[in-house]
């Protein structure tokens, strides 16, 4: 009989067995950690990194990244709060999500404004609380138009419609609440017409002659250029202009000297960095400055940690958080998040397994990927069942919609032996056998006739050891 390809792993050979559900069709995958199936094995919600229990119908557990959370009453709509689980509201339909910190719902659980990092109370109707980044603020009378002021709450004007927003510090409105010039961080007096005060983030600055073109420098006031049109802006720290006031490279938070032509200083957030030879292509690495490669064109960027370039500075594989060496040709190092891994023979096809590096199969083409834990492939590298984080056993039939209680499949082990994987009602067993080349389609019929004549069949064998129901030998487990 033609053997169906069964999804399995070499964990079978190491007795790291994990039972499937009844029909072996739909074990939910939970990245990094295996999870038990529900009653019908169809719809376990996946919670990244941590397994979570199913609800009654296994259909709608809300997923909360990194931390499992309990379901609500109807298990349909738990709002997800990244990193921290939160309780549901009354109807489990509309809890507003607040990144990093859970927040209580309002009366109707429909409209809690989200405030990044800090939860805030709702207004009367829970519909229009203005969001103020980092700090919660009280609503106005109608909860419709409180101007948002980043970092610090501010009082509303008379009609709650037009308070000018000043980042970080509240400022008084003018008469009509329509045209107060906004200066980030510090309130400033308006110009004559309340229309054109140049805005300088963080510190108020005097206007230019026409109140139209004062160059803005975030955080610190700076003198204007000759025409008040083109002062280069450097966030947080004032910097002198170049000759034409057109092209000072901006480096957020820290002032930096310009390059030779003042056109192309690469920007590195938070930390100033020197330019390369041509001031054109310094690779940017967030938070940490890094040296350029030979040609200043292609330094691979690795978030948070600088990494050296490969030989040609063209193709260093990027591994988030941890730098990794390149392969032989600097073209195809497989990327494994968080952990560097060596390439295969041709540097083309190392299967990627999140968090843990895994060896390639024979042809480096088809190693089954199992997130978080490396697993061995089967003989053809095509049919290993993948359950993220942990390899899983097959079920009773080992085939979609199958009803057979007996089946087998060859699995190639590291010792180059071939194992027979046998599925029975009691579970799975493995048995080392001689390597038998899989019959081609042209010889399948002939082999079946030969096996029938010799009595060497998978079931109903009365002269040789059967795969199941053996009373004279003990199957290998």
What does each of the 477 residues of the chain score in pLDDT, given as a tens digit? 323 333 333 333 222 223 333 322 223 333 223 344 433 332 333 332 233 444 333 323 333 322 334 443 333 233 333 222 344 333 332 333 332 223 444 333 333 333 322 334 443 333 233 333 223 344 433 333 333 332 233 444 333 323 333 322 334 444 333 333 333 223 344 433 333 333 332 233 444 333 323 333 322 334 443 333 233 333 223 344 443 333 333 332 233 444 333 333 333 322 334 443 333 333 333 223 344 433 333 333 332 233 443 333 323 333 322 334 433 333 333 333 222 344 333 322 233 332 233 443 333 222 333 322 333 433 322 233 333 223 333 322 232 222 222 223 333 333 333 333 333 333 333 434 333 333 334 444 444 444 444 444 333 333 333 333 433 333 433
Q: How many CA atoms lie within 13 A of 398 on its CB side?
A: 23
Rounded (10°) CA dihedral 110, 111, 115, 116: 50
Return all residues near 396 (Cβ < 8 A) that are at least 6 apart. Answer: 22, 24, 405, 423, 425
The neighbouring-strand residues paired with 430 are 421
So what's the pLDDT on residue 463?
37
So what's the pLDDT on residue 239?
41
So what's the pLDDT on residue 289?
33
Q: What distance in Å separates the CA atoms of residue 36 and residue 39, rounded to the nearest whole number?
A: 10
8 A C-beta contact, residue 266 and residue 283: yes
So what's the pLDDT on residue 303?
27
Whose tokens are 């079920």? That residue is: 395
How far is residue 348 from each of residues 287, 329, 332, 361, measured CA to CA in Å? 31, 10, 5, 12
Which of 420, 390, 403 lies closest to 24 in space, CA to CA?
403
Return all residues near 34 (Cβ < 8 A) that are at least 6 apart. Answer: 18, 51, 387, 388, 389, 390, 392
8 A C-beta contact, residue 363 and residue 350: no
So what's the pLDDT on residue 153?
34
Helix (H, G, I), strand (E, B) or coil at 212: coil
8 A C-beta contact, residue 249 and residue 267: yes
So what's the pLDDT on residue 324?
40
Q: What distance in Å separates the CA atoms of residue 82 and residue 97, rounded to the nearest whole number?
A: 8
């Amino acid at each position: 009989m033609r053997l169906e390809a069964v999804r399995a792993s070499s964990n079978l050979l190491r007795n790291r067995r994990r039972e499937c559900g009844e029909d072996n069709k739909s074990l939910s995958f939970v990245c990094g950690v295996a999870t038990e199936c529900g009653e019908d094995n169809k719809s376990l919600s996946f919670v990244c990194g941590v397994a979570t229990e199913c609800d009654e119908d296994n259909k709608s557990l809300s997923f909360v990244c990194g931390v499992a959370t309990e379901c609500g009453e109807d298990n349909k709509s738990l709002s997800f709060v990244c990193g921290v689980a939160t309780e549901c509201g009354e109807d489990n339909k509309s809890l507003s999500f607040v990144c990093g910190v859970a927040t209580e719902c309002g009366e109707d659980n429909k409209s809690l404004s989200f405030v990044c990092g800090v939860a805030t109370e709702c207004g009367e109707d829970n519909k229009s609380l203005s969001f103020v980044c980092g700090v919660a603020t009280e609503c106005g009378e109608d909860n419709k138009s409180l101007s948002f002021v980043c970092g610090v709450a501010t009082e509303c004007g008379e009609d709650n419609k037009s308070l000018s927003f000043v980042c970080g510090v509240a400022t008084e409105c003018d008469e009509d609440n329509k045209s107060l010039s906004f200066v980030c961080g510090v309130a400033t007096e308006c110009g004559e017409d309340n229309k054109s005060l140049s805005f300088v983030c963080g510190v108020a600055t005097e206007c230019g002659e026409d109140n139209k073109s004062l160059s803005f420098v975030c955080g610190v006031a700076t003198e204007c250029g000759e025409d008040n049109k083109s002062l280069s802006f450097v966030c947080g720290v004032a910097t002198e202009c170049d000759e034409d006031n057109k092209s000072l490279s901006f480096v957020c938070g820290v002032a930096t000297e310009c390059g030779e032509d003042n056109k192309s200083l690469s920007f590195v957030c938070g930390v100033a960095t020197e330019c390369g030879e041509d001031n054109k292509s310094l690779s940017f690495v967030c938070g940490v400055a890094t040296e350029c490669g030979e040609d200043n064109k292609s330094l691979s960027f690795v978030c948070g940690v600088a990494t050296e370039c490969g030989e040609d500075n063209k193709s260093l594989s990027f591994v988030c958080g941890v730098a990794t060496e390149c392969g032989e040709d600097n073209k195809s190092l497989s990327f494994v998040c968080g952990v560097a891994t060596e390439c295969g023979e041709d540097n083309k096809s190392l299967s990627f397994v999140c968090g843990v590096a895994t060896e390639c199969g024979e042809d480096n083409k088809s190693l089954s990927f199992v997130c978080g834990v490396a697993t061995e492939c089967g003989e053809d590298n095509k049919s290993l069942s993948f359950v993220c984080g942990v390899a899983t056993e097959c079920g009773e039939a080992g085939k979609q919609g199958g009803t057979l209680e007996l089946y087998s499949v060859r699995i190639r082990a590291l010792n180059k032996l071939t194992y027979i994987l046998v599925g029975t009602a009691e579970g799975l067993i493995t048995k080392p056998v001689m390597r038998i080349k899989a019959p081609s389609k042209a010889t399948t019929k002939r082999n079946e006739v030969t096996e029938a004549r010799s009595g060497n069949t998978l079931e109903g064998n009365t002269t040789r050891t059967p795969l199941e129901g053996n009373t004279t030998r003990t199957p290998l487990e």
